[in-house]
Amino acid sequence: MNEDPVVMYLVVNKSLNLTAGKIAAQIGHCCEKLALDACYQLFGQYDKQQDKDWKEYLNTGTTKIVLAASLEQWAAIKENGSCLVIVDEGRTECPPNSETVLGFFPMRKSEAPDVIKKLRLL
């Protein structure tokens, strides 16, 4: 077992009180966009370490860690690191332009920002 696996962190904005189905859909959007970004990087300009991490991630079980963040934690995460922000159109459960999920390109657990390490699982 790898002591320092490559994982994908997904952080849900718990202040929106989304249903499980809505959270699943928003996480799906995030994973899809991260995967498309990875495809672009693999066939266009890309960072060699991210390419290596993405390939290891795909070959070791594609572990996703879903965490919950308060509004205060949400702001700190956005300030602290490079992440993908999923913004909802507001057609169902939340107001238009609500930020629902923050997604991080796969990384080693040891490389996660401290603010991520302090969050609880959803």
Share of the chain above pLDDT 90, in %: 67
pLDDT tens-digit series, residues 75-101: 999 987 689 999 999 999 999 999 999
Q: What is the 3-state secondary structure (H, E, C) of 43-65?
A: HCCCCHHHHHHHHHHHHCCCCEE
pLDDT tens-digit series, residues 4-32: 999 999 999 999 999 999 999 999 999 98
pLDDT band with cut points at 50, 70 and 90 for residue 50 = confident
Q: What structural domains does the chain harbor?
A: 6-121 (3.40.1490.10)
pTM assigned to the model: 0.87
Q: Phi, psi (5° rounding) for residue 89?
A: -75, -15
